[in-house]
Structure 1
Amino acid sequence: MPSWLKNGFKSLRMSLFATGFLVAAVGVVACAILAVSEQGAIGSLAPLFYTLLSISAVIIAGLAGAVSVRAARIFMGRRFGAPAPRLHMRFMALFALAAVAPSILMALLLALVLGRGVEFWFGERVTTLVETMAEVGRAQAPLELNLAELQLVSMAGDLSYPEAVAAMSESRIEYTQYLRNQAIGRNFASAYVIDSRSTILARAEAPGAPPFVAPSQRMYEFAASRDIGVSDPTQREDAPAYVRLLVNLPAYDDAYLYVVWYVDLGVLTAAEEATASYRQAVAREEGMRQVFILVYFAAVALILVGALWLALSAATRVVTPVARLVGAAERVRRGDLDARVLVQRDDDEIAALGRAFNRMTRQLRSQRRALLEANAESESRRNFIEAVLTGVSAGVVGLAPDNRITLVNRSAEALLDVEAGTLTGEQVDTVLGVFAPIVEEARRSRAVLIERQIDIPGNDGALLNLNVRASTDDKGELVITFDDVTRLVAAQRNAAWRDVARRIAHEIKNPLTPIQLSAERIRRKYRAAIPDDQAEIFDKCVETIVRQVSDIGRMVDEFSAFARMPTPKMEAADLVGVVEGAVFSQRVASPRIKLPLELPGHPVIVECDSRLTAQALANILKNAGESVLARLDEDGAKQGGEVAVTLKLENDTAVIEVVDNGLGWPFADRAKLTEPYMTTREKGTGLGLAIVRRVMEDHGGRLELEEREDGARGAVVRLAFPLLEITNAANESALSREA
Structure 2
Amino acid sequence: MNVPAASPGGLHTSRAMRRTTAVVALTMVLIGLLLLYMLMQATNNRELYERNYAVLFYVNMAVATLLLLAIAWVAYRLVGRLRQGKFGSRLLVKLAAIFALVGIVPGLLIYVVSYQFVSRSIETWFDVKVEGALDAGLSLGRVTLETLTNDLNAKVRASGAQWPEAAQNGGGAEIERVAEQLGATSVALWTGSGQLLASTGQTRIQLIPDKPSPAQFRAARADRSHAWVEGFDDAAPTEASTARIRVLVPLASDSLDLTPDTRYLLVTRTLPANLVANALAVESANREYQERALAREGLKRMYIGTLTLSLFLAVFGAILLAVLLGNQIVRPLLVLAEGVNQVAAGDLTPKLAMQGRDELGGLTRAFATMTAQLSGARQEVERSMAQVDAARAHLQTILDNLTAGVMVLSADGAVRSFNPSAERILQVPLARYLGQAIDAVPGLEDFGVGVQRQFSEFAQRAHVQGTDHWQQPFELGGSQAPMHSPFDRALTLVARGAELPEHERLLVFDDISEIVSAQRAQAWGEVARRLAHEIKNPLTPIQLSAERLEMKLAGKLAPAEQAVLNKSVKTIVDQVDAMKRLVNEFRDYARLPAAELKPVDLNALIHDVLHLYEAQSTSAAIALDLDAQCPEVMGDAQQLRQVIHNLLQNAQDASETAAEAGRPRAAVTVRTQWQPTSQRVRLSVMDHGTGFSDAILKRAFEPYVTTKTKGTGLGLAVVKKIADEHGSRVDITNRMQDGKVVGAQVSLSLPAHDSAA
Provide the TM-score with structure 1 as the length reference: 0.53
Alpha-carbon distance between aligned partners in 2 of 1:632 and 1:416, rounded to the nearest angstrom: 38
Q: Is residue 676 of structure 2 the alignment partner of residue 640 of structure 1?
A: no
Q: Is residue 516 of structure 2 the alignment partner of residue 489 of structure 1?
A: yes
Equivalent residues in 2 for 1:57-72 (5 A)? 70-72=81-83
For the structure 1 residues 90 and 658, does the alpha-carbon distance in structure 2 shift closer, same or farther, using more than 3 Å as the test? Answer: same
**Aligned amino acid, residue 581 of structure 1:** D
Alpha-carbon distance between aligned partners in 1 of 2:498 and 2:84, rounded to the nearest angstrom: 64
Q: Is residue 751 of structure 2 the alignment partner of residue 722 of structure 1?
A: yes
Alpha-carbon distance between aligned partners in 2 of 1:392 and 1:555, rounded to the nearest angstrom: 43
Corresponding position of 2:474: 454
Question: Could you tell which deviates more after superposition, 587-596 or 574-583?
Answer: 587-596
SS in 1 for 2:750: strand
Q: Is residue 627 of structure 2 the alignment partner of residue 611 of structure 1?
A: no
Aligned residue among 674, 685, 688 for 1:661 = 688
Equivalent residues in 2 for 1:35-74 (5 A)? 70-74=81-85
Corresponding position of 1:359: 369
Determine if contact 2:414/2:436 at 8 Å carries over to the other structure: yes
**Aligned amino acid, residue 364 of structure 1:** L
Q: Is residue 656 of structure 2 the alignment partner of residue 629 of structure 1?
A: yes
Determine if contact 2:736/2:742 at 8 Å carries over to the other structure: no
* Deviation of the 1:488 alpha carbon: 1.7
Determine if contact 2:643/2:719 at 8 Å carries over to the other structure: yes
For the structure 1 residues 403 and 350, does the alpha-carbon distance in structure 2 shift closer, same or farther, using more than 3 Å as the test? Answer: farther
Alpha-carbon distance between aligned partners in 2 of 1:406 and 1:437, rounded to the nearest angstrom: 18
* Deviation of the 1:624 alpha carbon: 0.4
Q: Is residue 389 of structure 2 the alignment partner of residue 373 of structure 1?
A: no
Determine if contact 1:696/1:719 at 8 Å carries over to the other structure: yes
Equivalent residues in 2 for 1:564-579 (5 A)? 564-579=591-606
Give ranges in structure 2 of 5+ residues lacking alignment: 1-6, 22-72, 109-315, 478-484
Aligned residue among 336, 351, 358 for 1:325 = 336
For the structure 1 residues 451 and 508, does the alpha-carbon distance in structure 2 shift closer, same or farther, using more than 3 Å as the test? Answer: same
For the structure 1 residues 727 and 72, does the alpha-carbon distance in structure 2 shift closer, same or farther, using more than 3 Å as the test? Answer: closer
Query: CA deviation digits over 1:296-327, x for unaligned, max 9?
Result: xxxxxxxxxx9xx9999799645554354344
Determine if contact 1:587/1:593 at 8 Å carries over to the other structure: no
Query: CA deviation digits over 1:264-289, x for unaligned, max 9?
Result: xxxxxxxxxxxxxxxxxxxxxxxxxx
- Number of residue pairs matched? 472
Alpha-carbon distance between aligned partners in 2 of 1:709 and 1:89, rounded to the nearest angstrom: 93
Q: Is residue 720 of structure 2 the alignment partner of residue 693 of structure 1?
A: yes
Question: Could you tell which deviates more after superposition, 594-603 or 690-699?
Answer: 594-603
Q: Is residue 456 of structure 2 the alignment partner of residue 436 of structure 1?
A: no
Determine if contact 2:732/2:746 at 8 Å carries over to the other structure: yes
Determine if contact 1:707/1:716 at 8 Å carries over to the other structure: yes
Q: Is residue 729 of structure 2 the alignment partner of residue 702 of structure 1?
A: yes
**Aligned amino acid, residue 470 of structure 2:** I
SS in 2 for 1:714: strand
Query: CA deviation digits over 1:431-467, x for unaligned, max 9?
Result: 7826434444444433245333223459761233233
SS in 2 for 1:589: coil
Corresponding position of 2:532: 505
* Deviation of the 1:674 alpha carbon: 1.1
Corresponding position of 1:3: 10
Alpha-carbon distance between aligned partners in 1 of 2:16 and 2:419, rounded to the nearest angstrom: 62
Corresponding position of 1:561: 588
**Aligned amino acid, residue 473 of structure 2:** Q
Determine if contact 2:723/2:748 at 8 Å carries over to the other structure: yes
Determine if contact 2:92/2:323 at 8 Å carries over to the other structure: no
Determine if contact 2:91/2:326 at 8 Å carries over to the other structure: no
Give ranges in structure 1 of 5+ residues lacking alignment: 15-61, 103-305, 729-739
For the structure 1 residues 364 and 694, does the alpha-carbon distance in structure 2 shift closer, same or farther, using more than 3 Å as the test? Answer: closer
Alpha-carbon distance between aligned partners in 1 of 2:427 and 2:630, rounded to the nearest angstrom: 39
SS in 2 for 1:706: strand
Alpha-carbon distance between aligned partners in 1 of 2:435 and 2:89, rounded to the nearest angstrom: 45
Query: CA deviation digits over 1:572-608, x for unaligned, max 9?
Result: 4322222012233334335563322123446843343
SS in 1 for 2:534: helix
Alpha-carbon distance between aligned partners in 2 of 1:367 and 1:602, rounded to the nearest angstrom: 68
Alpha-carbon distance between aligned partners in 1 of 2:377 and 2:733, rounded to the nearest angstrom: 65
Alpha-carbon distance between aligned partners in 2 of 1:312 and 1:527, rounded to the nearest angstrom: 147
Determine if contact 1:461/1:669 at 8 Å carries over to the other structure: no
Alpha-carbon distance between aligned partners in 1 of 2:696 and 2:90, rounded to the nearest angstrom: 81
Alpha-carbon distance between aligned partners in 2 of 1:427 and 1:311, rounded to the nearest angstrom: 75
Alpha-carbon distance between aligned partners in 1 of 2:694 and 2:373, rounded to the nearest angstrom: 73
Equivalent residues in 2 for 1:136-155 (5 A)? none
**Aligned amino acid, residue 366 of structure 2:** A
Determine if contact 2:630/2:681 at 8 Å carries over to the other structure: no
Aligned residue among 706, 721, 736 for 1:679 = 706
Query: CA deviation digits over 1:178-201, x for unaligned, max 9?
Result: xxxxxxxxxxxxxxxxxxxxxxxx
Alpha-carbon distance between aligned partners in 1 of 2:619 and 2:382, rounded to the nearest angstrom: 81
* Deviation of the 1:690 alpha carbon: 1.1
Alpha-carbon distance between aligned partners in 2 of 1:419 and 1:64, rounded to the nearest angstrom: 76
Alpha-carbon distance between aligned partners in 2 of 1:503 and 1:624, rounded to the nearest angstrom: 30
* Deviation of the 1:496 alpha carbon: 0.7
For the structure 1 residues 419 and 625, does the alpha-carbon distance in structure 2 shift closer, same or farther, using more than 3 Å as the test? Answer: closer
For the structure 1 residues 646 and 418, does the alpha-carbon distance in structure 2 shift closer, same or farther, using more than 3 Å as the test? Answer: closer
Alpha-carbon distance between aligned partners in 2 of 1:331 and 1:607, rounded to the nearest angstrom: 70
SS in 1 for 2:694: coil
**Aligned amino acid, residue 375 of structure 2:** R
Equivalent residues in 2 for 1:343-358 (5 A)? 343=354, 345=356, 347-358=357-368
**Aligned amino acid, residue 472 of structure 2:** R
SS in 1 for 2:735: coil
Name the Cα RMSD after superposition.
Answer: 5.0
Equivalent residues in 2 for 1:116-127 (5 A)? none
**Aligned amino acid, residue 516 of structure 1:** Q
Aligned residue among 739, 742, 750 for 1:713 = 742
SS in 2 for 1:579: helix
Q: Quick check: which has more Rg, 1 or 2?
A: 2
Equivalent residues in 2 for 1:15-414 (5 A)? 70-74=81-85, 317=327, 319=330, 321-338=332-349, 340-343=351-354, 345=356, 347-397=357-407, 408-414=418-424
Alpha-carbon distance between aligned partners in 1 of 2:755 and 2:336, rounded to the nearest angstrom: 81
Determine if contact 1:587/1:595 at 8 Å carries over to the other structure: no
Alpha-carbon distance between aligned partners in 1 of 2:592 and 2:756, rounded to the nearest angstrom: 29
For the structure 1 residues 484 and 9, does the alpha-carbon distance in structure 2 shift closer, same or farther, using more than 3 Å as the test? Answer: farther
**Aligned amino acid, residue 675 of structure 2:** E
Provide the TM-score with structure 2 as the length reference: 0.52
Question: Could you tell which deviates more after superposition, 390-399 or 311-320?
Answer: 311-320
* Deviation of the 1:642 alpha carbon: 1.8
* Deviation of the 1:682 alpha carbon: 1.2
For the structure 1 residues 596 and 722, does the alpha-carbon distance in structure 2 shift closer, same or farther, using more than 3 Å as the test? Answer: same
Alpha-carbon distance between aligned partners in 1 of 2:631 and 2:387, rounded to the nearest angstrom: 57
Query: CA deviation digits over 1:467-513, x for unaligned, max 9?
Result: 33345689987654433322221111111101111222222223333
Alpha-carbon distance between aligned partners in 1 of 2:668 and 2:528, rounded to the nearest angstrom: 31
Corresponding position of 2:490: 463
Determine if contact 1:442/1:472 at 8 Å carries over to the other structure: no
Determine if contact 2:526/2:590 at 8 Å carries over to the other structure: yes
* Deviation of the 1:661 alpha carbon: 1.4
